[in-house]
Amino acid sequence: MLDQMIRRAFEQMAGSDQPPARVSITHAIRRARVQRRRQALTAAGAPVLAAGAVVAIGLAGVIGLTGRAQAPAGGSTAGTAAAPRYFSLLRPYAAFGWLPDGTSLSQTRDGLGQDALLLWGRMDTHTQLAIYAAGRCKVSGHTLRCNVAGQPIASQALGGLVGDVDGHRAYWASEHLSIGVSPSLARRTLHLTAGALCWQYARGGWAVLDAPNLRDALRMAVSIRIGPDVSPPVRFALQLTGVPADWQVNAVAAGWRDGILYATSYQITVGRADIGPEGDPSQPATPSVQIGPGSKGACPQAEPSTVINGYPVRLWGPNETWADPELCAPDADGLFVWIQVSPRPIISPAEMFGHHLRLLGPDPAHWTTQPIG
């Protein structure tokens, strides 16, 4: 009987009318091309950049740059200014301004890195901006090669000079031309609908903007702001306390809410550790803390529940399904908290939640810019 019920439920779902698809084959192809380039390079052993996303509409609203291009603000893009040697994990060094119409993000995701910063949109927009710290990129012939943590992470076959961004020459780079491709071939690829715009945003520092097309890329690029003061610091709804001195924030994912840039998740490592591909906190060293301040979260109902410090939590793993011990608290003083510890369990999620986590409540005004107190 049960299996019949299951079959019937599936059949009813599968037989329902499909709403108009939000799936774009064109975007998939473009996105795949960007991923392929990155995968090829990361497969060579690069512990990748910090990663992140900036929301199109949300960010535009926050910084007031909707619909028209503006010159970048901040002094770091001045012609003789030097690019920073490292980026802060706690304050983005760049921000999008204008983004193409139709770009809409249901969730934002910022990742911040020390060697490079990557901002991207949701999966169906393939708009991505990589900002490299000083000395990480070099031009050799017609190829721009960038390294992170000493490992090659990206190469762009620079094509034609297509304009300037804040007084810096900008080149249109084709997507799939590998190192050593001839300049003439690179130029012939300018008609491609997707590519990357490359320019030196400051002395020693390069920016690479993956974009749907050259026209949008240029418009986006001139509205991008790069510098230490272009973004507010990331705020954290939780603060770790009483943890060893060598614990440090190693990656941050952030988003915007009500004009506040806040961490939606962040990763803690013991000492300096390489971050996962694209700085994804889901592939952390240990331990990783993921936070979702808001009301959208729901904990897996099938997992056993308990109470810690008066808050209902669910604890599970490691088991056959989940490799890592995890904790989910659906409402911890107004916060949704998810903790995952991997791969070396130096602390249990319950211990972290019960003894080392300071909950700062749902009001962003009370959140901190120091995730480790």
Partner 1 sequence: MSAGRDAEFTEYVSARLPALRRLALLLCHNWHGADDLAQAAITKLYLHWGKAQASDSVDAYARTILVREFLHERRLGWARRVTLTDQPPEVAASEADKDSSLDVRAAIAALPPRQRAVLVLRYHYDLNVDQTANVLGCSAGTVKSQTARALAALRRTLGTTADAEPGPSCAAHNHGEITSNA
Amino acid occupying residue 100: P
Residue from 66, 74, 124, 369 touching partner 1 (CB under 8 A): that is 124
Instruction: Name residues contacting partner 1, limited to 305-334 (CB under 8 A).
Output: 320-322, 326
Give residue 199's Cα distance to chain centre. 21
Work out the end-to-end distance of the chain between its first and last CA atoms, rounded to an integer number of angstroms: 56
Nearest to 102 by CA among 26, 170, 176, 195: 26
Helices (H), the chain: 2-14, 25-42, 56-63, 183-188, 214-223, 349-355
What letter does residue 236 receive in the DSSP assignment? Answer: B
Instruction: Confirm or reject binding of residue 16 to partner 1 (CB under 8 A).
Output: yes
Instruction: Confirm or reject binding of residue 5 to partner 1 (CB under 8 A).
Output: yes
Residue from 123, 161, 185, 346 touching partner 1 (CB under 8 A): that is 123
Instruction: Confirm or reject binding of residue 298 to partner 1 (CB under 8 A).
Output: yes
| Alpha-carbon span 224 to 209, nearest angstrom | 10
Q: Which stretch binds partner 1 (CB under 8 A): 81-89, 154-162, 202-210, 296-304?
A: 296-304
The first and second tokens of residue 316, run together, are 């599970």
Instruction: Confirm or reject binding of residue 161 to partner 1 (CB under 8 A).
Output: no
Instruction: Name residues contacting partner 1, limited to 82-111 (CB under 8 A).
Output: 106-107, 109
Nearest distance, CB of residue 222 and partner 1, angstroms: 29
What letter does residue 51 receive in the DSSP assignment? Answer: -
Instruction: Confirm or reject binding of residue 24 to partner 1 (CB under 8 A).
Output: yes
Instruction: Name residues contacting partner 1, limited to 244-273 (CB under 8 A).
Output: 253, 264-265
| Alpha-carbon span 116 to 205, nearest angstrom | 10
Q: Which residue's CB is nearer to partner 1, number 105 or number 221?
A: 105
User: What are the angstrom distances between the C-alpha of 91 and each of 55, 85, 125, 233, 353?
Assistant: 16, 15, 24, 4, 25
Instruction: Confirm or reject binding of residue 37 to partner 1 (CB under 8 A).
Output: no
Instruction: Confirm or reject binding of residue 120 to partner 1 (CB under 8 A).
Output: no
Q: Which stretch binds partner 1 (CB under 8 A): 71-79, 197-205, 285-293, 306-314?
A: 285-293
Instruction: Confirm or reject binding of residue 191 to partner 1 (CB under 8 A).
Output: no
Nearest distance, CB of residue 53 and partner 1, angstroms: 11
* 267 Cβ contact partners less than 8 Å away, ≥ 6 residues apart: 249, 250, 251, 252, 275, 281, 284, 285, 288, 289
Q: Applying CB under 8 A, which residues contact partner 1?
A: 1-14, 16, 18-19, 21-25, 27-29, 31-32, 35-36, 39, 106-107, 109, 123-124, 176, 253, 264-265, 280-282, 288, 290, 292, 296-302, 320-322, 326, 336, 338, 340
